[in-house]
Structure 1
């Protein structure tokens, strides 16, 4: 493969360092770096570098993740042949009080987990707004099965 894959777009999220140190997972940054390297490799995926957003450590905030998903939505609106890839590596949390699932981004407030974490509902709704025919989402976290819902309502 020698020509660039101009229809590929990716959002890679590696929470790594957390504002709450006990939740830090440095290996997640290595995951996103390895995936980024594969995506831009002209012999593998050949994505354009400007079609990939990487949010590692302090950049992996709730707002920046949602902004990244909005960017993917806009990219898919502009490019009808878009292939979208979203990768999240970090902690997941299942709230046993209400059985709801959350992604724990960098700026989590531990004493306000349900209010400050990125809920599966909000994340999934943002994904549903991406009009791509090819959308691949990989969640590398504990309790990731809590994210499983269909794109169609």
Structure 2
């Protein structure tokens, strides 16, 4: 699986100012609607419900909000780069400026987990995150995210 299997170019956006975590989740809902036709209110509700179980800010300025949604046939993603970091209740208490959100079908099992693991592994690379932070063009960000990265054998 590659990020190009779950992320469309039109699901990548740079946000100049998200004033709060809730506003950021609303931006994700709007992006999910624009790119995939998902209901923005239902998307925001599903993301907030997931966040209530525990924050998805994984540290080093990265958040991976995700939710299961009805009406999807496969896992899809949305990516936001924030010009101004926002507090996301991250594990390391650092504000977030890189957000990769995943939306999975309600009955998705292993596919959802594989996608989450792929995104997590990809965004753990500090060099890749530095490249993302250095670019403000959505097309460039998409290319950086979907380039075939060298995966180390286990």
TM norm structure 1: 0.30
Greater C-alpha Rg: 1
